[in-house]
Amino acid sequence: MLAFIGRRILIAIPTIILISIFVFTLQHLLPGDPILVLAGEERDPEVLEFLREKYRLNDPIPIQYLAWVGNALQGDLGISFRTNQPVLELIGEKLPVTLQLATMALIIAMVIGIPAGVLSAYKKGTWIDWVANVVALSGLSVPNFWLGIMMILLVSVKLGWLPASGYQPFAEDPLQSIKTMLMPAFVLGTAIAATLMRHTRSAMLSVLKSDYIRTARAKGLAEHVVLIKHALRNALVPIVTVTTLIFGELLAGAVLTEQIFTIPGFGKLVVDAVFNRDYAVVQGIVLCTGVAFIFMNLLADVAYRVLNPRMGDK
C-alpha cells in the first residue's frame, strides 16, 4: 500500500508542474494589461513602468515562471495585485468558506441521492425507478446559476425566509452560518445528488443479485433489514469512492454558485481575479485546487483498496 501511495505521489508531481505551466502561460497570454487595471483611473507612465518592473512583467514569461516557482517552493505565492494581500493568506481565508459550502452541499446530496438510489434499485424497472431517475437527472440538468437566482427571488425576496447572500463564519454564529449557506448548498447539492443516486443504484443492483442477499432473504429477515444492513453496507465501497471524487470536484466547482450568492470563497476569488488580471491569485488558487483534486483522487483510490481488499496491486 505504501509503495502504491508513493508511486502515485511521484506521478502527481509532473502533473502539478504541468498545471502550473498551463495556467501561467494562459494568463500571461490573456489580452489586457494587468498594470492598466491596477492603475485604474490614474495613469502616470512613470508609476506604470515602476509597477511593471516591480512585478517582473517586463521579463520573458519563462523567467517569470521560474521566479514564481522559486518563490512558491519557499512557501511564497506572491501578493494580490488588487489588495496587496499575500496569496497564501487569502487562500487560508477562503478555504474554510468553500469547504463549508462543499460539505453542506455533499450532505444534502447524500440525503437525497443515496435513498433515491436504493429505492430505485429496489424497485428497478417500475415507475418509481423511472421517476427517481428523471428527478435525479432534472437536478443535474438545471443550470445552477438559474436555480440560484430563482431561489433568491422566491425564498429571499418574496418570502424573506433566508438571507440572499453573504457569509457568516461558523465559529461566530453556527445557526446563522448554516442558514446563510443553506440555499447555495442546496443549489450545489442538487447537481451532485444525481451522480450519487446513479452510482448508488448501480452498486445496489449488483449487490442485490448476490448470493448472500438471497440467503438473508431466505432466512426470513425483514426486507428493510436486508436492504439497509446487508445490501447498502456492501454497496458502500463504490459510493464512498465516488463521494471522495465528487468532493474534490466540489471544491473547485462552486464557482458560479459563489458568484450568485456573493459567497467570499475560492470560486468568487478566482473569477474576480481572472477578470482583474490578478495573476498571482489565479495561479495560487489553481495550484491549490489542482493539488486538492489530485489528493482526492489518491484518497479515493486508497479508500477503494482499503475497503475492497480483493483488488491487489496492479
Partner 1 sequence: MSALADPQAVATLPKKQSRFWKKMRANPAALLGGALVLFFVAVAALAPVLPIADPIATDWGAVRQAPSAAHLFGTDEIGRDVLSRMVWGAQASLLAGVVSVAIAVCLGVPLGVMAGYMGGWTDAAISRVTEALLAAPFLILAIALAAFLGPSLTNAMIAIGLSAMPIFIRLSRAQTMVVMTEDYVESARAVGLKPLALVSRYILPNIFPPILVQATLTIATAIIAEASLSFLGLGQQPPTPSWGSMLNVAKNFLEQAPWMALYPGAGIFLVVLGFNLLGDGLRDALDPRDH
Partner 2 sequence: MLKPRHIALALAFGLAATAVQAQDMRIGLQEDPDVLDPDQSRTFVGRIVYASMCDKLVDITPGLEIIPQLATGWEWSDDGLTLTMTLREGVTFHDGTAFNAEAVAANIDRSQNLPESRRKSELSSITGVEVVDEYAISFSLDAPDATLLAQFADRSGMMLSPTAFGEAGIDFGLKPVCSGPFSFVERIQQDRIVLERFDDYWNADAINVDSVTFLPIPDTTVRLANLRAGDLNMLERLAATDVASVQGDDGLTMEQAVSLGYQGITINVGNGAGADNPLGQDARIRQALSLAIDRNVINQVVFEGAFAPGNQPFPPTSPWYNDAYPVPERDVEAARALLAEAGFADGINITVQVANNPVQQQMMQVVQAMASEAGINIELQAKEFATLLADQSAGEYQASQVGWSGRVDPDGNIHQFMTTGGGINDSGYSNPEVDRLLNEARTSTDTEVRVASYNAARDILIEDLPIIYLYHVTWIWALDDAVQGFVPYPDGMIRLEGVTINE
Among partner 1, partner 2, none, what does residue 109 contact (CB within 5–8 Å per kind)?
none
- Which among partner 1, partner 2, none contacts residue 303 (Cβ within 5 to 8 A by kind)? none
Considering only residues 261-300, where is the footprint of partner 2 by CB under 8 A? 261-262, 264, 268-269, 272, 275-277
Integer Cα distance of 162 and 156 in angstroms? 5
Site string for partner 1, 91-120 (x = CB under 8 A): ------------------------------
Interaction of residue 177 with partner 1, rule CB under 8 A: no
Query: What residue type is assigned to position 21 of the chain?
Result: I
Asked if residue 210 binds partner 1 (CB under 8 A), the reply is no
C-alpha cell at 249: 470536484
Contact 11, 298 (CB under 8 A): no
Q: How far apart are CA 258 and CA 270, in angstroms?
A: 11
- The runs of H, that is alpha helices, within 74-173 are 87-122, 127-141, 144-151
Query: Taking the complex as a whole, how short is the minimal distance between the CB of residue 37 and partner 1, in angstroms?
Result: 13
Does residue 186 interact with partner 2 by CB under 8 A? no
Region label for 125, one of left (φ > 0), alpha (ψ between -120 and 50) or beta (otherwise): left
Q: Strand, helix or coil at 299?
A: helix
Q: Does the protein bind partner 1 through residue 27 (CB under 8 A)?
A: yes
Q: What distance in Å separates the CA atoms of residue 223 and residue 7, rounded to the nearest whole number? A: 44
Q: Is residue 288 a contact partner of residue 20, using CB atoms and an 8 Å limit?
A: no
Closest to 82 in 3D by CA, of 61, 51, 59: 51
Of 48, 91, 95, 142, the one binding partner 1 by CB under 8 A: 142
| Stretch in the footprint of partner 1 (CB under 8 A) among 56-64, 103-111, 140-148, 174-182 | 140-148
* 35/256 with CB nearer partner 1: 256
For partner 2, give the closer residue by CB, 180 or 244. 180
- Rounded distance, CA 115 to CA 71, Å? 48
Rule CB under 8 A: which residues touch partner 1? 11, 14-16, 18-19, 22-23, 26-27, 29-31, 130, 133-134, 137-138, 140-147, 149-150, 152-153, 157, 205, 249, 252-253, 255-256, 259, 270-271, 274-275, 282, 286, 289-290, 293-294
